[in-house]
Amino acid sequence: MTTHEEIERKYEVDGDSSVPDLSDIATVEPSAKVLLTADYFDTDSGDLAAHLIVLRRRVGGDDEGWHIKFPAAVGRTELHWPLSIGGAENAHDAPGAPDAADAHEDATADAPVAHEDAPVAVPAEVIAPILALVRVRPLRIIARLRTRRTALHLIDDSGHRLLELADDRVEASDSATGTVRTWREWETELLDGAPESTQARSALLDAVEARLLAAGARPAVSASKLATALGRTSLAPVHRAVSLDRASPASEVLLAAVGALVEDIARIDPLVRLDRPDSVHQLRTRVRRLRSLFASYPRVFDRAVTDPIRDELQHLGVVLGEARDAEVMRDRARSLIADHDALVPGLDTRLVDGWARAHTDGHERVLAELSVPRYLALLDSLDGFLARPPLAKDAFVQAGIAIPPALARDLNRVLRSAKSADAAQTEPERVELLHATRKAAKRLRYAAEAVSVGDAGVFGRRVRTVAAAAEAIHDLLGEHRDSSLMQEHLRATAGSGKHTFDYGVLHEVERHGAALCLADYPRALRDLKRLR
């Protein structure tokens, strides 16, 4: 598999329009005409389109093969596999697809686009990044496109390819309806030689766009050929605004919160599989928020249903936690060395290497966990929960009446745990009770944020203040715990003999930081007490 960041713009254009001269922008290099035939796949329920993900198998062109396109912060992330991925049988066309040899027929060919409704075997390697979305549901051809492309490249003075302008004449068949649609579009895409800075990239695209608009082009209503093939302007489902307030049933408010978290899991899961920065942390956070929400509102949803889901979420959270905790400690060790290199010059990397290996091993275990039936069954359970909510006695009580007592119970839980920690007789006991206080504060924070932000945000500033106060306690005690773990690691590493004094210096830095956290903790606790 190879990965490519795709940044492009599309334009609608009339059939008789001429591509403008771009030679004053950069050297123009024509490219050979090519015929591209592509099958696009999705489940019957459109699970990929709902997440703006495109899966296709294309024959023809320099990048023929299997492609998955994910939305990204800028443009799209494209994954690519060769046609032969998954075995020799996949080197041939899928059932009902045009013969591979026909992909190179003369670009003037006018044979109609065929379509086929039968299931098609997509290689397991291609399904892997989107497994959480499709699970065991069959993938079918939903559209077939035949594109006659005439392209040119813009080249800089050093011979680097900056941009491709593709003049596409498209004939597409909607497999569900048999509708055939034809259109012409111009597409500009940045190439590997494009400027590195965002400003320079935008300037290049803008300069070409000005020429295209002057030649009669119009910004495309749809940024996706697949959406156009299906008669849509976007692959995204229509988002119906949720209108909730404190008078709404508590179950409706909390279901909106659960739904947003389940949607986040579906969005983040592919990023974890691609090892994107911070993705494990983001997935772990959503898992924890779901567990906390079910725990905080047991009178709204039936525990006979939510408790088994919580158990499965806990299992997943443990696996994610191993990788995330190692990542945190690895990055903490790196920062510790970088920040104090002048103080302890020449410190070796043994402080980092163990955590780095633990993170790598942990991430491999995460990938394995995300591919087992147990995880997919959990996702099915969450979907089932949203489709058929197991309502308890407070489900239809107004949110403004049912939710505040639940938040009050969670707040008091934090204060009771903090009181127990203050009364601890030994330091190990105190450390464990502070850890329990931290977890209680995290649960309160998540419960408060669930009903004060997003579509479920029916409560205002006071509940957000509770969430912020709980977060302050959670952060201080979390930093103290991380520092304590690093101190243990420093002591263990120093025992090997090399750089023993240097490790001692860093241990003192960590010990001092942990002490500052505990010094700030009583103030944060008082802030929370005032909100009772």
> Is 98 part of any domain?
yes
The answer to whether residues 367 and 441 belong to one domain is: yes
The answer to whether residues 192 and 278 belong to one domain is: no
The confidence score (pLDDT) of residue 322 equals 94
> Is 241 part of any domain?
no
Contact 208, 199 (CB under 8 A): no
* 3-state SS class at 165: strand
> Is 272 part of any domain?
yes
Nearest CA to 501 among 319, 340, 321?
340
- Give me the CATH number covering residue 56: 2.40.320.10
| CB-based contacts of 314-322 (< 8 A; 24+ apart in sequence) | 315/374, 316/287, 316/369, 316/375, 316/378, 317/284, 317/287, 317/288, 317/291, 319/362, 319/365, 319/366, 319/369, 320/280, 320/283, 320/284, 320/287, 320/366, 321/284, 322/358, 322/362, 322/365, 322/366
Q: State the distance between the two ends of the chain, measured CA to CA, in whole angstroms.
A: 54
Annotate 261-289 with b (16+ C-beta within 10 A) or e (fewer). bbebbbbbbbbbbeeeeebbbbbbbbbbb
The answer to whether residues 46 and 180 belong to one domain is: yes
The confidence score (pLDDT) of residue 346 equals 65
Write out the residue range of the structural domain in which residue 413 sits: 250-529
The answer to whether residues 333 and 385 belong to one domain is: yes
**Neighbouring residues of 524: CB distance < 8 A, sequence distance ≥ 6:** 469, 472, 473, 476
The answer to whether residues 295 and 210 belong to one domain is: no
The strand pairing partners of 27, in sequence order, are: 155
The confidence score (pLDDT) of residue 92 equals 33
**For residue 108, what are its two tokens?**
């003037």
Contact 376, 131 (CB under 8 A): yes
**Neighbouring residues of 365: CB distance < 8 A, sequence distance ≥ 6:** 319, 322, 323
The answer to whether residues 222 and 269 belong to one domain is: no
- Alpha-carbon distances of 432 from 323, 425, 477, rounded to whole Å: 22, 12, 11
> Is 49 part of any domain?
yes
Strand 140-155 with 27-30, pairing: antiparallel
The answer to whether residues 256 and 167 belong to one domain is: no
Annotate 39-73 with b (16+ C-beta within 10 A) or e (fewer). bbbbbeeebbbbbbbbbbbbbbbeebbbbbbbeee
- Give the Cα separation of 323 and 321 in Å (integer): 5
Residue identified by tokens 């190692």 is 326
Residue identified by tokens 């912020």 is 468
Contact 95, 57 (CB under 8 A): no
- Give the Cα separation of 126 and 2 in Å (integer): 12
Contact 222, 232 (CB under 8 A): yes
The answer to whether residues 440 and 403 belong to one domain is: yes
The answer to whether residues 219 and 287 belong to one domain is: no
The confidence score (pLDDT) of residue 108 equals 35
DSSP letters, 431-478, are HHHHHHHHHHHHHHHHHHHHTTSGGG--S-HHHHHHHHHHHHHHHHHH
* Domain endpoint, select from 171, 200, 229: 229
The answer to whether residues 192 and 306 belong to one domain is: no
Contact 126, 39 (CB under 8 A): no
- Give the Cα separation of 57 and 122 in Å (integer): 9
Residue 210 neighbours by CB distance under 10 Å? 12
Dihedrals phi, psi of 447, to nearest 5 degrees: -65, -40
Nearest CA to 186 among 152, 161, 154, 158?
152
- Scanning 215-248, the segments in alpha helix (DSSP H) are 225-229
Angle between helices 373-387 and 303-339 (to 10 degrees): 120
The strand pairing partners of 143, in sequence order, are: 40, 174
- Give me the CATH number covering residue 450: 1.40.20.10
> Is 238 part of any domain?
no
532 residues of the chain, pLDDT tens digit each = 899 999 999 999 998 899 999 999 999 999 889 999 999 999 999 999 999 999 999 999 988 999 999 988 888 999 999 999 876 444 333 333 333 333 334 433 443 343 344 445 899 999 999 999 999 999 999 999 999 999 999 999 999 999 999 999 999 999 999 999 999 999 999 999 999 999 999 999 999 999 999 999 999 998 799 999 999 988 887 777 678 999 999 999 999 999 999 999 999 999 999 988 899 999 999 999 999 999 999 999 999 999 999 999 999 999 999 999 999 999 998 888 888 876 777 666 777 888 899 999 999 999 999 999 999 999 999 999 999 999 999 999 999 999 999 999 999 999 999 999 999 999 889 989 999 999 999 999 999 999 999 899 999 999 999 999 999 999 999 999 999 999 988 888 876 566 788 888 889 999 999 999 999 999 999 999 999 8
> Is 245 part of any domain?
no
The answer to whether residues 272 and 175 belong to one domain is: no
> Is 214 part of any domain?
yes
- Alpha-carbon distances of 172 from 38, 111, 228, 231, 502, rounded to whole Å: 9, 12, 9, 10, 67
Contact 244, 253 (CB under 8 A): yes
What's the domain count of the chain? 2
**For residue 100, what are its two tokens?**
């591979």
* Domain endpoint, select from 229, 263, 293: 229
> Is 361 part of any domain?
yes
The answer to whether residues 338 and 425 belong to one domain is: yes
Strand 76-81 with 2-6, pairing: antiparallel
